[in-house]
């Protein structure tokens, strides 16, 4: 029996912030490492050495994507969550003799906030830096919060819920004037906007393979040379002793190829998606009591986020999916298991009832301009229908 969605024709995926399809070119490139090239990079025979070469070539491509000083500054992990934990817990614990204060912006991903809360339980002092109504970090308040005891400050490069891009270079100057290290979670930004860790003064930076069309199950942490980090997963000493465990060669090789493709195509793709994004924003803001969230211009090129009065985000998501076969998001996929409103939307000053009515559209390589009328009409129909039946 056909589902309602399948009867409605082609699916339109607008939730690339939570999952991107693996680029077919990446699959073809990495496929041999699921079969014939099965070597362990730690093995010294020819098959193992071939795997080691592939691993190091992937490291070089990821390093190029962010203009790292050297490939060795890239440590592969299982994903962004592990990379964030290694950056935050590993840096704080390794350098605790220099200070026991950590700082994060109020709109960080939960995989940044929770490790800092764990450090707080162990005796560290944890402070949140506020943002303004567009989600941009308040540099003045950041200067007040950071002291010489601040061992680590973590600021997201671009927020996955509201799309706002932070002024990382200016933030790095504030951090280094008063504190020690700056960690940047670039999960949502990598492959979408240029990243230059050297020019921006970044000490540690988190990446996720799938966020630039690589396989899931791989991520990376950039560690600036001479920054000391303590391993949080002791074992056999892989990845310079900082991340033990046999490397996921298929996912890592795929991540390297995805990084190469992203670097080559990012500029043109960003321009294409920005045109579509701006048209969607223009059309959706014609709906009564529809509001854009995040910065109006300093935002990711593929990202459009809104709030609607008098309806719930979960209802929007389900209606768009089941009635129109269009997948959207409401808040972050990693924090959607709670009925509480998004901490990001509360941090930018929205009331609880306002934060509940959010919708996030994130475009990708598979989306086309001709989809915009259908998307706009589906959002309009959804909002009007839900308002008619809403108890709010």
What does the pLDDT profile of the chain (392 residues) look like in tens digits? 344 444 567 999 999 999 999 999 999 999 999 887 788 887 888 888 888 999 999 999 999 999 999 999 999 999 999 999 999 999 999 999 999 999 999 999 999 999 999 999 999 999 999 999 999 999 999 999 999 999 999 999 999 999 999 999 999 999 999 899 999 999 999 999 999 999 999 999 999 999 999 999 999 999 999 999 999 988 988 889 899 998 999 999 999 999 999 999 999 999 999 999 999 999 999 999 999 999 999 999 999 999 999 999 999 999 999 999 999 999 755 545 556 789 999 999 999 889 989 999 999 999 999 999 999 999 999 999 999 987 65
Report how far residue 149's alpha carbon sits from residue 190's, in angstroms, rounded to the nearest whole number.
30
What is the pLDDT at residue 338? 58
Say whether 89 sits in a helix, a strand or coil: helix
Q: Which residues contact 136 (CB under 8 A, 6 or more apart)?
A: 164, 166, 167, 295, 298
Chain centroid to Cα 5, Å, comes to: 28
How many other CB atoms are found less than 10 A from the CB of residue 36? 10
Exposure on the CB side of residue 239, measured as CA atoms within 13 A: 30
Contact between 124 and 92 under an 8 Å Cβ cutoff? The reply is: yes
**pTM for this one?**
0.94
What's the pLDDT at 17? 95
pLDDT of 21 reads 96
By C-alpha distance, which of 68, 54, 13, 22 is closest to 211?
22
192 noted as active-site residue: no
Sketch out the chain's domains with CATH numbers. Answer: 4-22+266-389 (3.90.1150.10), 24-261 (3.40.640.10)
The single residue of 133, 334, 338, 384 carrying the catalytic annotation is 334
- CB neighbours (10 Å) of residue 142? 23
- Contacts of residue 135, Cβ cutoff 8 Å, sequence gap at least 6: 107, 159, 162, 164, 293, 294, 295, 344, 347, 348
pLDDT at 8: 64
Q: What is the pLDDT of residue 39?
A: 80
Distance of CA 380 to the CA centre of its chain: 28
- Region label for 182, one of left (φ > 0), alpha (ψ between -120 and 50) or beta (otherwise): beta
pLDDT for 3 equals 47
């Amino acid at each position: 029996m056909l589902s309602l969605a399948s009867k409605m024709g082609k699916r339109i995926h607008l939730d690339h912030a939570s999952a991107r399809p693996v680029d077919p070119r990446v699959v073809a490139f990495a496929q041999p490492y699921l079969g014939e090239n099965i070597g362990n990079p730690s093995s010294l025979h020819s098959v193992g050495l071939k795997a080691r070469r592939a691993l190091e070539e992937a490291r070089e491509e990821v390093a190029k994507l962010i203009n790292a000083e050297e490939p060795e500054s890239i440590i592969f992990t299982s994903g962004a969550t592990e990379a964030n934990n290694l950056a935050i817990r590993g840096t704080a614990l390794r350098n605790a003799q220099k200070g026991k204060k950590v700082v994060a912006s109020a709109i960080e991903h939960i995989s940044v906030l929770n490790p800092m809360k764990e450090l707080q339980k162990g005796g560290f002092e944890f402070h949140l830096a506020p943002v303004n109504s567009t989600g941009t970090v308040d540099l003045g308040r950041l200067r007040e919060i950071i002291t010489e005891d601040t061992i680590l400050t973590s600021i997201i490069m671009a927020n996955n819920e509201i799309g706002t891009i932070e002024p990382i270079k200016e933030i790095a100057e504030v951090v280094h004037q008063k504190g020690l290290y700056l960690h940047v979670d670039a999960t949502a930004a990598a492959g979408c906007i240029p990243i230059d860790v050297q020019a921006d003064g970044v000490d540690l930076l988190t990446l996720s393979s799938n966020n630039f069309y690589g396989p899931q199950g791989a991520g990376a942490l950039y560690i600036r040379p001479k920054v000391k980090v303590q391993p949080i997963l002791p074992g056999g000493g892989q990845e310079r002793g900082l991340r033990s465990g046999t490397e996921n060669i298929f996912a890592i090789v795929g991540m390297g190829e995805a990084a190469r493709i992203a670097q080559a195509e990012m500029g043109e793709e960003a321009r294409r998606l920005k045109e579509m994004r701006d048209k969607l924003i223009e059309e959706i803001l014609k709906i009564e009591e529809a509001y854009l969230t995040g910065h109006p211009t300093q935002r990711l090129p593929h990202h459009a986020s809104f709030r609607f009065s008098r309806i719930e985000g979960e209802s929007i998501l389900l209606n768009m999916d089941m009635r129109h076969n269009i997948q959207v998001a409401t808040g972050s996929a990693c924090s959607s298991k709670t009925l509480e409103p998004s901490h990001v939307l509360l941090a930018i000053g929205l009331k609880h009832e306002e934060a509940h009515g959010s919708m996030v559209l994130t475009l990708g390589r598979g989306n086309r301009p001709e989809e915009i009328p259908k998307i706009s009409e589906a959002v309009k129909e959804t909002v009007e229908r839900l308002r008619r039946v809403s108890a709010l």
